[in-house]
Amino acid sequence: MRSLIGAALLAGWLSCACPAAAQMQCNVVVGTPEDLLMLAVNGADNPQVQIAALDKYAQANADSQFMPCVNSYYTSAYLKLNNFDKAIEYGEKDVAGKTVDMNLLLNLMRAYVGSGRASDTAFDVIMKVPAELKQEANPPRPTNVSEAEWQKSQQEIADQVKDQRAYAEYAFFQLLPRLAEADKRVRFLDAFMQAYPDTTNVNQVNFQYFLAYKMANNAAKVGEYGEKAIASDPNNVGTLNLVADDYATRQVNLDKASDYAKKVLELAPKIQKSEGMTDEQLKANQDAQLGLAHLTLGYITFQKTSKTHKVAPAIQEFKTAVDLLGGNPQLQARALFYLGYAYEVLAPANHKGAADALARSAGIASPWQGQAQDLLAKVRSAQGH
């Protein structure tokens, strides 16, 4: 509990033993082994020295009721060493024992993010945060604290609660994309909305639902959450591009897909550098977004004109996409495949253009490689090779 208390209240608070259920009780009596341990841990700047002190205590007091606190200190020390696996190992002992506080949850989340471990327990930890913050953020007022000190402390607590909750949401959105199972993504998104109903990251939630349902091939939900994601963040270039691409490849809502892709063409050149981004990285990002938009527009145009063989506008879109997507081989391979296909549909067919594009697509390791090789063989046969 003391993690949320301002410095002005520490002296008074440490004398008060008011832990809530399932929270750690880490107060110690002077002269006990626990007191000696805390003196050693708090007096050491080196986390390896802290771990040595914790090891010595744990070996001699394995059955102590103080072990949840020891596990929490282990978690903190290993986190300082960037030994995320060990930090998680000790932190999860407390989670399994249903003894937690906000310091432990925060350190565990940092370890999960650092390691990239998107386990069920990691998400369980994230879901515990709002209730734990609510429990820890309202300590009783000590009798020896002035009104001014108390108000200052309350503001410090509120600020810290805001920061810790923000980190929990950050951790969630860092870990969720690491889940390979669509059903798990949906399940944890549902749990997140129950635990964080007032989140300010609704746009992220909708976008992640969109991605999860796309993984699950749930067409109805993909469309629903794609539109929700755009409604909650209408100028998000990445969202516009992916929703447009989804509509185009599923051959639904083509006019809406075209509008979204054209909006990307307007917005992408205006993308600003984020903190730490180089000019080269900015240009690569802009090119990738523009390239996908041109690929989508090419595909839409191709679908609308292939029966009449008047696919020259689609060919131009595909060629532009190929030039822009050099930094994304997977998308470039797709653009090259459709470029080759369009050359063959053109009247009269441009076998050489088709063969050149398909050969490039077939040379890139991608889901399009096999189709490109098959079509290339047919084109070369038509050429008389």
Whole-number Å distance between alpha carbons of 1 and 103: 8
Confidence of residue 22 (pLDDT cuts 50, 70, 90): low
Inform me whether the pLDDT recorded for 383 exceeds 90. no
Instruction: Note the pLDDT tens digit of each residue in 342-360.
Output: 999 999 999 999 999 999 9
pLDDT score for 19: 38
Q: Which residues are CB-contacts of 18 (< 8 A; sequence separation ≥ 6)?
A: 1, 139, 140
Instruction: Note the pLDDT tens digit of each residue in 317-331.
Output: 999 999 999 999 999
Q: Which residues are CB-contacts of 326 (< 8 A; sequence separation ≥ 6)?
A: 287, 332
Identify the three-state secondary structure at position 207: helix
Instruction: Note the pLDDT tens digit of each residue in 304-316.
Output: 999 999 999 999 9
Confidence of residue 23 (pLDDT cuts 50, 70, 90): low
Q: What is the mean pLDDT of the chain?
A: 90
Predicted model pTM: 0.85
Confidence of residue 385 (pLDDT cuts 50, 70, 90): low
* More confidently predicted of 320 and 145: 320
Inform me whether the pLDDT recorded for 12 exceeds 50. no
Least confident span in 116-125, 131-140, 196-205, 346-355: 131-140
Residue entry with tokens 């990285």: 281
Confidence of residue 365 (pLDDT cuts 50, 70, 90): very high
Q: Which domains does the chain have, with CATH numbers?
A: 2-178 (1.25.40), 235-383 (1.25.40.10)
